[in-house]
Amino acid sequence: MAIESPLYEKIYLQLRDEILSGKIASGELLPPEPILSQRYGVSRITTTRALQILSEQGLIVRIRGKGTFVRKPALSKEETSGVLTEPSPKPIGYVVPNIRDTYGIEIFSGIECAISKRGGFLITERTYGDPDREQAAIRRLLELGVKGLIVYPVNGKYYNPEILRLSLEKFPVVLVDRLLPRIPIPSFTSDNRMAAYLLTEHLLHCGHQNIAFLAHAIDGTATLEDRYAGYVAAHRNANLPVAQKLCPAIFSETELDNRDHEYMDQCVSLTEAFFRTQKNVTAVVAAEYNFAMYAYEACNSLGYRVPDDMAIATFDGPCPKTTPWHFTHIRQDQCAMGTLAVESLWAQIENETTNDNASQTIPGRLILGNSTRMIAR
């Protein structure tokens, strides 16, 4: 499903690429805003917003009475009159499926803040969970001359060959939220096994014994494999068997699917069908927030009350402080993931370490919400 970017973003990306590729030379004067607006057929406000982003990322500098220049390592004294000069900023690429308020925005904030403190700037490419887009994004960022890459890999059984090449060539690169086993690239993820264990243990403690695990295909996605392992471990610790029929891989989605209302309705229908066939299920561990929403909507359609008839526990979601009703969930420390990823990447860029350092897992916190409660035993 095609996703239309805002006009200012298109202009920003075009100017950014021309600057980083050298098509617009360092120190060159950009055309005035009215001319840029006429060139791109947009309003002055749109052009101003695009230039504002370029300025925030350190690609251009505005000098009152003289115009807007492409930043260069050392401006002349005359050019810098009244302007603070800085070392040439390092461009860092971030490849990510998407950035949502339910998950991802805090990783992005952690990355952006840590890079800014080090005098760099961030160039972000979204892949929408598509492996081909991911490969193309990595190649494009390398062509633009980024000094390092932070990659949030797409789900999948097979590794992106571009990521493998980065590892072999010892290019500065780190991963966030995903671990690629046997690939010597530092990764910064949540402790997904313990997180799922805590969610399942909580539901067991509430009195549930028939707990479903809702996810898409687990095989090949390390995050989901770890969460499923935590779900299984909690059952074994309680001396309870795990019924495979309660662990259906009923979803097969990408970030593109998440924006397709028809697809989302289909997922709700699939969840309804699962609940109808497994009437003994009283609780759900949803491996991702979207799956929890599908389960919640399915309960509404079937007349099930949450948490009285069906308990739901999941991962992340909107900030509990901003919503009166929220799921019981694991709150991942996204900001720490982003900050640690930048620290590792910068060490590689400064030749302090190689990219085969050990990965780190960051613990999450169990946040009790409105979707679970104790039941009569």
Contact 58, 84 (CB under 8 A): no
Task: Give residues with Cβ within 8 angstroms of 10, minimum separation 6.
Answer: none
Per-residue pLDDT of the chain (377 residues; tens, 9 = 90+): 444 567 888 888 888 888 888 888 888 889 888 888 888 888 777 787 788 788 877 788 877 677 888 876 444 444 434 443 445 578 999 999 988 888 899 999 999 999 999 989 999 999 988 899 999 999 999 988 899 999 999 877 667 888 988 888 889 999 999 888 778 899 999 999 999 999 999 999 999 999 999 998 776 678 889 999 999 999 999 999 998 889 888 777 554 445 567 888 999 999 999 999 999 999 999 999 999 999 999 999 999 999 999 999 999 987 766 677 899 999 999 999 999 999 999 999 887 665 555 689 999 999 999 999 998 66
pTM: 0.73
Query: What per-residue string of b and e applies to 335-365 under the rule 16 or more CB within 10 Å gives b?
Result: bbbbbbbbebbbbbbeeeeebeeebebeebe
DSSP string, 10-79: HHHHHHHHHHHHTSS-TTPBPPPHHHHHHHHT--HHHHHHHHHHHHHTTSEEEETTTEEEE--SS--TTT
> How crowded is residue 79: how many other Cβ atoms within 10 Å of its Cβ?
15
Distance CA 370, CA 191 (A): 24
Residues 30, 329: Cα–Cα separation, whole Å: 49
Cα(46)–Cα(155) distance, rounded to whole angstroms?
A: 35
What's the token pair of residue 271? 């969840």
For 98, how many CA atoms within 13 A lie in the half-sphere containing its CB? 15
